[in-house]
Structure 1
Amino acid sequence: MMTNLFSIFDPSTNLFYLPLNWISTFIGLMFIPYSFWLFPNRHFFLWNFIMNKLHKEFKMLLSKNSNGSTFIFISMFSFILFNNFLGLFPYIFTSTSHLTLSLTISLPLWLSFMLYGWINNTQHMFIHMIPQGTPSILMPFMVLIETISNIIRPGTLAIRLTANMIAGHLLMTLLSNTGTKMSFYLIFMLIMIQILLLILESAVAMIQAYVISILSTLYSSEVN
């Protein structure tokens, strides 16, 4: 029984006090096409096409000496995409709707960028604090604003993903709970609305994975 509206996001399924719902994070590994076959199928060609496009796009955003860095962001895109998309299926736990997972992804990544930038490119990081052409009287305020905006970046990445995943699921849950009190014609309309919402959520699942990967790539390019 749902005692609270947000209880649909609780990882309550357990066995011997082990939260089994978090195992759904690894279900996405089953959907990655393998290249062990003599003749690759269309699934493999499609996945390879997407990965190559992302590799070229991330490579343009990163600096020239960042060889191999694109694989970090491609892997993050794949991981978030599968978790977002699989969370739309019934009885599959949406792990990306929790800050526990989203902060675990964004915080170490941001921290590694900051450590690398301040250790290897200290002068560049100081220059980045003050945009070019800033008046002298505004320089202390610009340093403060840039510092705060830099510190909150992992939080904004995590909250953006979590909020978008929670919002769609809550809306679908609220609409479905009203179905028991509706007439036949209204239920038919409700089903059509739910199908449209499901299509919208599928698009949001892909867009959010892409947005977080692109923003992480841009944050990485700033420290070089």
Structure 2
Amino acid sequence: MMTNLFSVFDPLSSILHLPLNWLSTFLAFFIIPFLYWAMPSRFLLLWSTIISTLHKEFKLLLGPLSYNGSIIFISLFSLILFNNFLGLLPYIFTSSSHMALTLSFALPLWVSFMLYGWLKNTQHMFSHLVPQGTPTLLMPFMVLIETISNIIRPGTLAVRLAANMIAGHLLLTLLGNTGHSLSSSLLFLLLFAQILLLTLESAVAIIQSYVFAILTSLYASEVN
């Protein structure tokens, strides 16, 4: 029995006194298609097309010299995408809707980018604090604003993904809890609305994983 609406996002709820909710995060490794077949399946061909398209986009953002640098962002996109879709299935915990997972993705990557930029390209990082054409009187304020915007980047990445996943799931939960008190005609409309929302959530699952990976690659390209 749910104590409140947000209990569906509780990572501490357990089965047989074992915290098994986070195991759904690793189910994505069983869905990724393998390259061990002599004749590739349609799913494998589709996934290969997606990977090659993403690789071309990340290569444009990261530059021609970072050919293998897109692997980490493609892996990040894949993991978030599969976890978002797994959360749409019944009785599976949506780990990408929790800040513990999203912040653990965003914060280490941002810290590594900042360390690399300030240690290897210090002058380039200082130049980013003052945009070109800034008046002399506004330079101290621009340095402060750019510093704050850099510091809050991992938080905005984590909150954006978690908030978008929570919003749709919470709306589906709210509509689903009203089904037992509706008449037959209203129940049909409720089911139709639920199907539309589920379709929208599928699109959100793809878009949010893509946005997370693209923004992370943009932050990486700024320090290079």
- Give the CA deviation at 1:14: 3.6
Structure 2 CA distance, aligned partners of 1:79 and 1:155?
A: 19
Cα distance per residue 1:142-170 (max 9 Å; x no partner): 00000000000000000000000000010
Aligned-residue offset at 1:13: 2.0
Query: Offset at 1:24?
Result: 0.2
Corresponding position of 1:166: 166
After superposition, where does 1:4-153 map in structure 2 within 5 Å? 4-11=4-11, 12-15=13-16, 17-153=17-153
Q: Give the Å deviation of 1:29.
A: 1.1
What are the superposed Cα offsets for residues 24-53 of structure 1, whole Å, 9 maximum, x if unpaired? 001111111111111111111110000000
Normalised by the length of structure 2, the TM-score is 0.98
Contact 2:28 2:83 in 1 (8 A): yes
Counterpart check, 1:179 vs 2:179:
yes
Q: Which amino acid aligns with 1:155?
A: G
Q: How many residues align?
A: 223
Following the alignment from structure 1 to structure 2, what is the Cα–Cα distance between the partners of residues 160 and 84?
13
Contact 2:130 2:139 in 1 (8 A): yes
CA distance in 2, matches of 1:68, 1:39: 27
CA apart distance, 1:184: 0.4
Secondary structure at the aligned position of 1:19 is classed as coil
Q: Tell me the amino acid that sits aligned with residue 118 of structure 2.
A: W
The 2-side partners of 1:195 and 1:40 are apart by 32
User: What amino acid does structure 2 have at the position aligned with 1:186?
Assistant: L
Taking the aligned partners of 1:99 and 1:129, their CA distance within structure 2 comes to 29
Q: CA deviation at 1:18?
A: 3.4
What letter is aligned with 2:159? I
Cα displacement string for residues 168-222 of structure 1 (whole angstroms, at most 9, x for unaligned residues): 0100111111111111000000000000000000000000000000000100000
Aligned-partner Cα distance in 2 for 1:164–1:5: 16
Q: What is the alpha-carbon root mean square deviation over aligned residues? A: 0.8
TM-score (normalizing by structure 1): 0.98
Percent identity reads: 67
Deviations 1:33-92 (A, max 9, x none): 111111111111110000000000000001232231100000000000000011000001
The equivalent residue for 2:155 is: 155
Q: Distance in 1 between the 2:18 and 2:150 partners? A: 36
Task: Detail structure 1 runs of 4+ shifted over 4 Å in the superposition.
Answer: none
- Aligned match of 1:201: 201
